[in-house]
A and B are shown apart, each in its own frame.
Chain A
Amino acid sequence: QKEVEQDPGPLSVPEGAIVSLNCTYSNSAFQYFMWYRQYSRKGPELLMYTYSSGNKEDGRFTAQVDKSSKYISLFIRDSQPSDSATYLCAMMADRGSTLGRLYFGRGTQLTVWP
Protein backbone atom coordinates (compact mmCIF):
# COMPACT_ATOMS: atom_id res chain seq x y z
CA GLN A 1 0.00 0.00 0.00
CA LYS A 2 1.32 3.42 -0.93
CA GLU A 3 1.74 5.95 1.85
CA VAL A 4 -0.64 8.36 0.09
CA GLU A 5 -3.48 7.42 -2.25
CA GLN A 6 -5.09 9.87 -4.65
CA ASP A 7 -7.50 9.19 -7.49
CA PRO A 8 -5.76 10.42 -10.68
CA GLY A 9 -9.04 11.27 -12.40
CA PRO A 10 -9.34 12.88 -14.87
CA LEU A 11 -12.07 15.09 -13.45
CA SER A 12 -14.01 17.35 -15.78
CA VAL A 13 -16.52 19.93 -14.48
CA PRO A 14 -18.35 22.99 -15.86
CA GLU A 15 -17.34 26.48 -14.84
CA GLY A 16 -18.90 27.47 -11.52
CA ALA A 17 -19.07 23.94 -10.15
CA ILE A 18 -17.83 22.93 -6.71
CA VAL A 19 -14.87 20.59 -7.01
CA SER A 20 -13.96 18.06 -4.36
CA LEU A 21 -10.52 16.47 -4.36
CA ASN A 22 -9.29 14.05 -1.74
CA CYS A 23 -6.49 11.81 -0.55
CA THR A 24 -6.17 9.03 1.97
CA TYR A 25 -3.03 8.05 3.83
CA SER A 26 -1.76 5.29 6.05
CA ASN A 27 0.98 6.88 8.19
CA SER A 28 -0.42 8.25 11.46
CA ALA A 29 2.80 10.26 11.97
CA PHE A 30 1.84 12.73 9.24
CA GLN A 31 1.11 16.15 10.72
CA TYR A 32 1.66 18.55 7.82
CA PHE A 33 -0.85 18.39 4.98
CA MET A 34 -0.45 20.38 1.78
CA TRP A 35 -2.15 20.84 -1.55
CA TYR A 36 -0.13 21.82 -4.59
CA ARG A 37 -1.37 22.88 -8.02
CA GLN A 38 0.73 21.99 -11.03
CA TYR A 39 0.17 23.40 -14.48
CA SER A 40 1.56 21.58 -17.49
CA ARG A 41 5.37 21.81 -17.67
CA LYS A 42 5.53 23.90 -14.50
CA GLY A 43 6.67 23.20 -10.96
CA PRO A 44 4.15 22.50 -8.18
CA GLU A 45 2.68 25.64 -6.62
CA LEU A 46 1.78 25.57 -2.92
CA LEU A 47 -1.96 26.23 -2.54
CA MET A 48 -2.94 25.27 0.97
CA TYR A 49 -1.21 24.10 4.12
CA THR A 50 -2.71 22.64 7.29
CA TYR A 51 -1.02 21.46 10.43
CA SER A 52 -2.73 18.58 12.24
CA SER A 53 -6.52 18.45 11.95
CA GLY A 54 -9.10 21.01 11.01
CA ASN A 55 -10.23 23.24 8.21
CA LYS A 56 -8.56 26.11 6.46
CA GLU A 57 -10.12 28.51 4.00
CA ASP A 58 -8.44 30.80 1.50
CA GLY A 59 -10.70 32.52 -0.98
CA ARG A 60 -12.38 29.89 -3.12
CA PHE A 61 -10.28 27.08 -1.63
CA THR A 62 -11.02 25.09 1.53
CA ALA A 63 -8.76 22.37 2.90
CA GLN A 64 -10.00 19.80 5.41
CA VAL A 65 -8.05 17.25 7.41
CA ASP A 66 -9.66 14.35 9.26
CA LYS A 67 -6.87 12.54 11.04
CA SER A 68 -9.21 9.99 12.61
CA SER A 69 -10.13 8.77 9.13
CA LYS A 70 -6.71 9.56 7.60
CA TYR A 71 -8.50 11.56 4.91
CA ILE A 72 -7.87 15.02 3.52
CA SER A 73 -9.90 17.10 1.08
CA LEU A 74 -9.62 20.20 -1.03
CA PHE A 75 -12.76 22.00 -2.13
CA ILE A 76 -12.78 24.58 -4.91
CA ARG A 77 -15.87 26.80 -5.06
CA ASP A 78 -16.98 28.64 -8.19
CA SER A 79 -14.41 26.79 -10.26
CA GLN A 80 -12.83 28.65 -13.17
CA PRO A 81 -11.16 27.45 -16.38
CA SER A 82 -7.91 28.80 -14.92
CA ASP A 83 -8.22 26.16 -12.18
CA SER A 84 -7.57 23.47 -14.80
CA ALA A 85 -4.40 21.77 -13.59
CA THR A 86 -3.15 18.74 -11.72
CA TYR A 87 -3.72 18.90 -7.97
CA LEU A 88 -1.27 17.09 -5.73
CA CYS A 89 -1.74 16.30 -2.07
CA ALA A 90 1.40 16.05 0.06
CA MET A 91 2.10 15.12 3.65
CA MET A 92 4.96 15.15 6.09
CA ALA A 93 5.72 13.96 9.60
CA ASP A 94 6.87 16.57 12.13
CA ARG A 95 9.54 14.40 13.74
CA GLY A 96 11.52 11.21 13.28
CA SER A 97 13.72 9.80 10.57
CA THR A 98 11.50 11.00 7.73
CA LEU A 99 11.44 14.65 8.86
CA GLY A 100 11.90 16.76 5.75
CA ARG A 101 10.42 14.19 3.38
CA LEU A 102 7.17 15.06 1.62
CA TYR A 103 4.99 12.15 0.55
CA PHE A 104 2.91 12.96 -2.51
CA GLY A 105 -0.21 11.54 -4.03
CA ARG A 106 -0.17 10.79 -7.76
CA GLY A 107 -2.17 13.94 -8.50
CA THR A 108 -5.71 14.50 -9.82
CA GLN A 109 -6.03 16.06 -13.26
CA LEU A 110 -8.83 18.65 -13.27
CA THR A 111 -10.41 20.34 -16.29
CA VAL A 112 -12.93 23.15 -15.85
CA TRP A 113 -14.74 23.88 -19.10
CA PRO A 114 -16.41 27.22 -19.83
Chain B
Amino acid sequence: GAGVSQSPSNKVTEKGKDVELRCDPISGHTALYWYRQSLGQGLEFLIYFQGNSAPDKSGLPSDRFSAERTGESVSTLTIQRTQQEDSAVYLCASSFGPNGNTIYFGEGSWLTVV
Protein backbone atom coordinates (compact mmCIF):
# COMPACT_ATOMS: atom_id res chain seq x y z
CA GLY B 1 0.00 0.00 0.00
CA ALA B 2 0.97 3.66 -0.32
CA GLY B 3 0.62 4.64 3.32
CA VAL B 4 2.12 3.70 6.66
CA SER B 5 0.82 0.29 7.65
CA GLN B 6 0.47 -0.85 11.26
CA SER B 7 -0.48 -4.18 12.76
CA PRO B 8 -2.34 -5.36 14.66
CA SER B 9 -4.99 -2.68 14.40
CA ASN B 10 -6.49 -3.84 17.70
CA LYS B 11 -4.97 -5.87 20.51
CA VAL B 12 -6.42 -6.92 23.84
CA THR B 13 -3.91 -8.49 26.18
CA GLU B 14 -3.75 -9.58 29.78
CA LYS B 15 -1.70 -7.63 32.28
CA GLY B 16 1.81 -9.03 32.48
CA LYS B 17 1.93 -10.35 28.92
CA ASP B 18 4.32 -9.07 26.26
CA VAL B 19 3.05 -7.43 23.07
CA GLU B 20 4.72 -6.62 19.79
CA LEU B 21 3.46 -3.89 17.46
CA ARG B 22 4.62 -3.63 13.88
CA CYS B 23 5.04 -0.70 11.51
CA ASP B 24 5.68 -0.73 7.77
CA PRO B 25 6.74 2.76 6.67
CA ILE B 26 6.14 4.36 3.31
CA SER B 27 8.65 3.03 0.78
CA GLY B 28 11.73 5.25 0.60
CA HIS B 29 11.14 6.95 3.93
CA THR B 30 14.33 6.88 5.98
CA ALA B 31 12.89 8.30 9.20
CA LEU B 32 10.39 6.46 11.36
CA TYR B 33 8.65 7.60 14.52
CA TRP B 34 6.58 6.01 17.27
CA TYR B 35 4.07 8.03 19.27
CA ARG B 36 1.50 7.10 21.89
CA GLN B 37 -1.95 8.67 22.28
CA SER B 38 -3.90 8.00 25.43
CA LEU B 39 -7.61 8.77 25.83
CA GLY B 40 -8.05 12.51 26.16
CA GLN B 41 -4.31 13.11 25.92
CA GLY B 42 -2.10 14.52 23.23
CA LEU B 43 0.43 12.57 21.24
CA GLU B 44 3.43 11.52 23.29
CA PHE B 45 6.77 10.98 21.53
CA LEU B 46 8.35 7.57 22.12
CA ILE B 47 11.26 7.07 19.72
CA TYR B 48 12.68 8.21 16.39
CA PHE B 49 14.73 6.16 13.91
CA GLN B 50 16.93 7.48 11.13
CA GLY B 51 17.66 4.38 9.10
CA ASN B 52 18.08 1.60 11.63
CA SER B 53 19.67 3.75 14.33
CA ALA B 54 17.71 5.56 17.02
CA PRO B 55 19.19 9.02 17.65
CA ASP B 56 16.44 9.77 20.16
CA LYS B 57 14.88 7.10 22.32
CA SER B 58 14.39 9.36 25.31
CA GLY B 59 10.60 9.19 25.08
CA LEU B 60 10.33 5.51 25.94
CA PRO B 61 8.48 5.58 29.29
CA SER B 62 10.27 2.68 30.95
CA ASP B 63 12.69 -0.17 30.30
CA ARG B 64 9.68 -2.37 29.52
CA PHE B 65 9.48 -0.56 26.18
CA SER B 66 11.90 -1.26 23.36
CA ALA B 67 11.92 -0.75 19.61
CA GLU B 68 14.01 -1.88 16.71
CA ARG B 69 14.13 -1.27 13.00
CA THR B 70 15.52 -3.36 10.18
CA GLY B 71 17.37 -1.16 7.72
CA GLU B 72 15.00 1.48 6.37
CA SER B 73 12.06 -0.85 6.60
CA VAL B 74 9.88 -2.47 9.23
CA SER B 75 9.97 -1.43 12.86
CA THR B 76 8.63 -3.27 15.89
CA LEU B 77 7.71 -1.76 19.23
CA THR B 78 7.76 -4.27 22.07
CA ILE B 79 6.13 -3.77 25.44
CA GLN B 80 7.11 -6.32 28.07
CA ARG B 81 5.05 -7.20 31.14
CA THR B 82 2.21 -4.92 30.04
CA GLN B 83 0.41 -2.78 32.62
CA GLN B 84 -3.05 -1.24 32.42
CA GLU B 85 -1.54 2.24 32.01
CA ASP B 86 -0.01 1.01 28.74
CA SER B 87 -3.50 1.00 27.20
CA ALA B 88 -3.39 3.55 24.40
CA VAL B 89 -3.16 3.98 20.65
CA TYR B 90 0.35 3.45 19.38
CA LEU B 91 0.94 5.48 16.25
CA CYS B 92 3.77 5.06 13.78
CA ALA B 93 4.84 7.70 11.27
CA SER B 94 7.48 7.97 8.58
CA SER B 95 9.15 10.65 6.49
CA PHE B 96 11.97 11.18 3.99
CA GLY B 97 14.10 12.69 6.71
CA PRO B 98 13.85 14.33 10.13
CA ASN B 99 11.99 17.35 8.87
CA GLY B 100 8.40 18.32 9.19
CA ASN B 101 6.97 18.47 5.71
CA THR B 102 6.45 14.81 4.92
CA ILE B 103 5.60 13.11 8.22
CA TYR B 104 2.72 10.74 7.60
CA PHE B 105 0.99 8.64 10.23
CA GLY B 106 -0.52 5.18 10.13
CA GLU B 107 -3.92 4.35 11.57
CA GLY B 108 -2.46 3.14 14.83
CA SER B 109 -2.51 0.00 16.92
CA TRP B 110 -5.19 0.17 19.64
CA LEU B 111 -3.87 -1.63 22.71
CA THR B 112 -6.06 -2.56 25.65
CA VAL B 113 -4.49 -4.20 28.71
CA VAL B 114 -7.02 -5.96 30.94
Interface residues of B (CB under 8 A from A): 4, 31, 33, 35, 41-43, 45, 48, 50, 55-56, 59, 91, 98-108, 110
Contacts and interface: CB of A to CB of B under 8 A. Distances in A.
Contacts of B108: 42-43
Q: Which of A43, A98, A99 has the most CB of B within 10 A?
A: A43
B41 to A, nearest CB: 7
Interface in A13-52: 31-34, 36, 41-46, 49, 51
B104 A100 contact: no
25 contacts: A33-B100, A34-B100, A41-B110, A43-B4, A43-B105, A44-B43, A44-B105, A45-B105, A46-B103, A46-B104, A92-B99, A99-B55, A99-B56, A100-B48, A101-B56, A101-B59, A102-B33, A102-B43, A102-B45, A102-B100, A103-B45, A104-B43, A105-B42, A106-B42, A107-B42
